[in-house]
Amino acid sequence: MGIKAALPTYELGLYALVVSCAIAYSGQEIFESSRDSMNRKAFRENIKPGWHYFGRKMDVADFEWAMWFTSFRNFILFALSGHVLFAKICSMVSAQHRSVVYMMYGILAVLGTMGSNYLMVILSHCLVLYTVGLAKQRWLCFIAGLCSLASFKIEPFSSWQNGFVTGTFDLQDILFYGGSGFTIMRCMSFALENCERTEGNYSVFALLKYNFYLPFFFFGPVMTFDQFHVQVHNHELQRKDREMWHISIHAAVHLTAIVAVDVFFHFFYILTIPSDLKFVNRLSDWALAGLAYSNLVYDWVKAAVMFGVINTIARLDHLDPPQPPKCITMLYVFAETHFDRGINDWLCKYVYNYIGEDHDNILKELMATISTFAITTLWLGPCEIVYIWSICNCFGLNFELWVQQFFQLKPFAEKEANMSEATSRRVRGIFGAANFWAIVLYNILALNSLDFALLVAKRIFFT
């Protein structure tokens, strides 16, 4: 359901002014709260010394961000720089063998980082799912793939497999579960695409080349096998006009975003403050709304930076990776609520669109959404917060589709046809606003805690 006409300039300007004022008003209180609570006892664990010339401590509550750009930064730069170097040499000398070079470098990087035991665990899952894929039965591929995924997400199987990996570096668990989870999704894509192949089977060598492409291995995104296989075996490596210019601009933007976020964390403790509910209760309604909203925007920025850096390298390798996530400020329908477009594309292709077909049948649509969020729950790791998040989003998506079909009935369609463009836009805006805040609250729940989400909801809707 699209809006009949674009938002007029004066309304767009008014909207921008209101949003800017709201952000400035709430931001001032968050800044003052951060400054005055720098040495608060409850904050000490997550507020550490930062860049000394700022004279302020830094919010390091996000373990992943802090590790990526401190102690693990050099490893990332070394591994990815080596990949870019070898990829460039191979593309110049022997473009037809570049996929093999990518695979060999990826295997060696995984071996050097995580050890031989981890590599054997990954290879064993690849071999099992490759063997299952030879049967060319979709249901069997799903059962085997989801069981493999569950073995990394459900205790005691995940700890048992993690026990094979020896090492003490800080990101071991993140790399273990990240690489393992993305491996299973790639192997399932391979097996399902093999089911669709009418003549013969893809080789296990094709699966290894697909899985051990280093930029995607540990942190994604997931690029479906059919797309990767075609693109990586394209031997005519020609750049489009100004393509390198655009790649350079994107790289500069991501580098600027990294520096900006680090500076931001010295002045706004948006990740640490929500952990102290006693302190949060004393914030004004504006500050609390701004705090919740900034958490969502930061999560988008983090995903955009992570996938942006990886996608920049993939584009240097002449691949067309999944698009970066859409900013929370642009989301007002549940159908577009996804921070990882790679996983979203995977789920849409193999589950949601396959079961839902044309998405006209309410029962099929319900089955499609339930199946999609069941797999998403397993992918994220089953726990109370994930269950609530999945149920809320599943209901939101279905309710949105029910309302859409209801208002497409002839009496309502005729009434809207008789409305002016402005009236139609504003009526749709009411529903869009309700959806927007539902999306915000559900994702606050996923990013923080149930208590914080309930507090935000109470302040917004009741206070």
Mean pLDDT of 293-311: 88
13-42 residues labelled b (16+ CB within 10 A) or e (exposed): eeeeeeeeeebeebbebbeebbeebeebee
Tokens standing for residue 71: 């102690």
Q: How far apart are the C-alpha atoms of 269 and 331, rounded to whole Å?
A: 25
| 47, β-bridge pairs | 59
Taking 90 as the threshold, does the pLDDT of residue 119 lie above it? yes
Helix, strand or coil, per DSSP, at residue 11: helix
DSSP string, 290-317: HHHHHHHHHHHHHHHHHHHHHHHHHHHT
Q: How many CB atoms lie within 10 A of CB 346?
A: 25
Confidence at residue 129, expressed as pLDDT on a 0 to 100 scale: 96
Q: How far apart are the C-alpha atoms of 401 and 358, rounded to whole Å?
A: 13
Query: pLDDT, tens digit, for every residue of 330-363?
Result: 777 777 777 788 898 999 999 999 998 877 788 8
Query: pLDDT, tens digit, for every residue of 399-440?
Result: 888 887 877 777 877 887 888 888 888 887 787 778 888 888
Query: pLDDT, tens digit, for every residue of 61-101?
Result: 888 888 777 766 777 778 888 888 888 788 777 778 888 99
394-402: long-range contacts, CB 8 A cutoff, minimum separation 24? 394/369, 394/370, 396/334, 396/435, 396/438, 396/439, 396/442, 397/334, 397/335, 397/369, 398/365, 398/366, 398/369, 400/333, 400/334, 400/335, 400/435, 401/359, 401/362, 401/365, 402/362
Helix, strand or coil, per DSSP, at residue 351: helix
What Rg value do the Cα atoms of the chain yield, rounded? 24
Confidence at residue 71, expressed as pLDDT on a 0 to 100 scale: 64
115, 167 Cβ separation under 8 angstroms: yes
What is the number of helices (H) and of strands (E) in the chain? 21, 2
Stated length of the chain = 463
Query: pLDDT, tens digit, for every residue of 138-194?
Result: 999 999 999 999 999 998 888 888 888 876 666 777 888 889 999 999 999 999 999
Confidence at residue 4, expressed as pLDDT on a 0 to 100 scale: 38
Confidence at residue 238, expressed as pLDDT on a 0 to 100 scale: 79
- Which residue shows structure tokens 């900006």? 260
